[in-house]
Amino acid sequence: MAATRQGAQQWRRSVNFVIQHHPDARCFLAQPQPGLQCRLDYERHGEQLIITHTGVPAQLRGQGLASQLVETAARWLAEFPLQLVPGCSYVRHWLLRHPRWQRLLTPASAQRVLNEWFGPPGSAQDGRSR
């Protein structure tokens, strides 16, 4: 993870694909090809984080880009005891295909306990009792 000049965090997914987190804009962005942008938007309400939109240009669909956006957001979210609320249909379907992240759907208070016992989802300690 590296910080850009604007303060946005980056996650390198491949040589030409970087996902940037823009907390002030409440979104994750990627530009896998010039002029084409992939985007995941979210809102925070108390101890809930609602992913409201995941978008990939039509010509880039089917390459796993939306999945990478959601996984990057899930990895970031796992660092905090916040409940994930899938506000868009893509995230609901993604969670069905990626059960290791479903723990993020539990209320924040339960996540604090689960994270203490088993480590945050996606971490090296994930699933190992302490």
CATH code of the domain covering residue 74: 3.40.630.30
Please state the domain count of the chain. 1
Residue type, 23: P
Output the pLDDT for position 130.
Answer: 62
Long-range contacts of 116-121 (CB under 8 A, 24+ apart): 120/78, 120/79, 121/74, 121/78
Residue 77 lies in a domain: yes
CB atoms near residue 122 (< 10 Å): 18
Residue 47 lies in a domain: yes
Residue 127 lies in a domain: no
Greater pLDDT, 64 or 1: 64
Residue 124 lies in a domain: no
Residue 112 lies in a domain: yes
User: In whole angstroms, what is the distance from residue 62 CA to residue 48 CA?
Assistant: 29
List pLDDT tens digits, range 35-47. Answer: 899 999 999 999 9
List pLDDT tens digits, range 66-98. Answer: 999 999 999 999 988 899 999 999 999 999 999
Q: Which of 116, 38, 45 is nearest to 70 (CA)?
A: 38
Output the pLDDT for position 17.
Answer: 74
Residue 130 lies in a domain: no
Residue 9 lies in a domain: yes
Domain span at residue 70 reads: 2-118
